[in-house]
Structure 1
Amino acid sequence: MALSLNKIYVANFSIEEKIFLITDLKIVHKLLNVLRLTKGALFIVFNDNKQQYIVEIIDHNHGSIKIKIINESNSMSISNTNVILAVAFPKGKRGDWLVEKATELGVNKIIVLRTDRSIMNPGQGRIEKWQKIAIQASEQCGRTDIPKIESGKLEDLNGIIMIAVTKGGINIEESLIKIDVQKKDLTLNFLVGPEGDWSKEEEKKLIHDGAIPVSLGKRILRVETAAIVGMSIISLWINSEN
Structure 2
Amino acid sequence: MARRCYSDAPITGDQATLDGNEAHHLLHVLRATPGMAVTLFDGSGQEFDAEVVACKRSTVELAILESRLVDRELPQPLVLGVALPKGDRQRWIVEKSVELGVTRIVPLVTERSEKQGGDKLGRYVIEASKQCGRNRLMEIAEPMRWSDWLTASDLLDEGTPTHRRWVAHPTGVRPTAAEFAQQLPTLLAIGPEGGLSDGEVEAATAAGWKAVGLGERILRIETAALGLAACLTIPQP
TM interval, shorter chain, is: 0.7 to 0.9
Q: Confirm or deny that 1:161 pairs with 2:168.
A: no
Q: Which residue of 1 aligns with 2:175?
A: 171
SS in 2 for 1:137: helix
Mapping for residues 1-242 of structure 1, pairs under 5 Å: 4-15=1-12, 17-22=13-18, 24-73=19-68, 75-118=70-113, 120-122=114-116, 126=118, 128-150=119-141, 151-154=143-146, 155-156=148-149, 157-158=152-153, 159-171=163-175, 173-177=177-181, 179=182, 181=183, 187-237=185-235
CA RMSD of aligned residues (A): 2.0
Instruction: Return the TM-score normalized by structure 2.
Output: 0.87
Structure 1's 110 and 168: CA in aligned 2 closer, same or farther, altered over 3 A? closer
Unaligned regions of 5+ residues in structure 1, if any? none
SS in 2 for 1:171: coil
Partners of 2:134 and 2:186 in 1: how far apart? 19
SS in 1 for 2:137: coil
Question: Aligned residues, how many?
Answer: 224
Structure 1's 35 and 100: CA in aligned 2 closer, same or farther, altered over 3 A? same
Structure 1's 117 and 172: CA in aligned 2 closer, same or farther, altered over 3 A? farther
Shift of residue 37, structure 1, vs aligned partner? 2.1
Moved over 6 A (4+): none
Q: Which AA in structure 2 matches 1:165?
A: H
Partners of 1:55 and 1:143 in 2: how far apart? 17
Partners of 2:230 and 2:176 in 1: how far apart? 11
SS in 2 for 1:166: strand
SS in 1 for 2:223: helix
Which one has a larger percent helix, Structure 1 or Structure 2? 1
Structure 1's 162 and 172: CA in aligned 2 closer, same or farther, altered over 3 A? farther
Partners of 2:92 and 2:124 in 1: how far apart? 9
Partners of 2:102 and 2:35 in 1: how far apart? 35
Instruction: Return the TM-score normalized by structure 1.
Output: 0.85
